Structure 1
Amino acid sequence: MDFEWDIDKNRKNKKRHGVDFEFASKVFIDPNLLSRIDDRVDYGETREIALAMYLGVILSVVYTWRGDRIRIISARKATKYEQRRYYEGIFG
């Protein structure tokens, strides 16, 4: 799987949420990854939100597909509610 992201956005995300996009990209190997379409706003592109775990940390990662690459838009540690949804296998 190939990934891309905006360098400045990554820097801002790390400062705001403490999560680097390189680390966040690792959640996509989680076989229990849950994903849904983010249709709260018309972004002009299809965005998805993933809940997945890497090294014991559950993250919420917003991303989109650019061709065959995943473009990470934002990433943060999952809320308690999102963690519960992840463990229950329910997201949507």
Structure 2
Amino acid sequence: MRCTFEWDEKKNLTNQKKHGISFEEAQYAFADKKKIILFDLIHSKSEKRYFCITQIKRGIITVRFTYRTKKLRIFGAAFWRAGRKKYLVR
């Protein structure tokens, strides 16, 4: 199944400055067969939000996203240091 991605470009630029990763690069998280998708129980009451935890070339990342009108909308991405050992063992 092929995924279509979208995001707010202003948020993408802010994310790059703050976390050192673009949403363009974060898209690759969804191609990893070992990715972990978790439901975000805390951050939104108005829509279902998720975390995708996976490894890309530069390290392990968490991508925050939701589904909107047959598109996967990325609204955050960052390198994930706390769970690195657990992910690599999996």
Relative to the length of structure 1, the TM-score reads 0.87
Report if aligned partners of 2:49, 2:65 keep a CA contact under 8 Å in 1: yes
Structure 1 segments (4+ residues) deviating >2 Å: none
* Among 33, 41, 45, the residue aligned to 2:47: 45
Unmatched 5+ residue regions in structure 2? none
Partner of 2:23: 21
Q: Corresponding residue for 2:85?
A: 84
> Once the two structures are aligned, what percentage of the paired residues are identical?
30
Among 3, 6, 22, the residue aligned to 1:4: 6
Q: 1:59 and 1:13 mapped to 2: Cα distance?
A: 13
Gaps of 5+ in 1: none
Report the RMSD for the aligned CA atoms in angstroms.
1.3
Deviation at 1:56, TM superposition (A): 4.7
Per the TM alignment, residue 84 of structure 1 is displaced from its structure 2 partner at its CA by 2.2
Under a length normalisation based on structure 2, what TM-score does the superposition of the two structures give?
A: 0.89
Instruction: Deviation per CA, 1:35-89: give whole Å up to 9, x if none.
Output: 110111334110001101122521111000112211001000012x221232244
Between the two proteins, the alignment pairs up a number of residues equal to 88
SS of residue matched to 1:41: coil
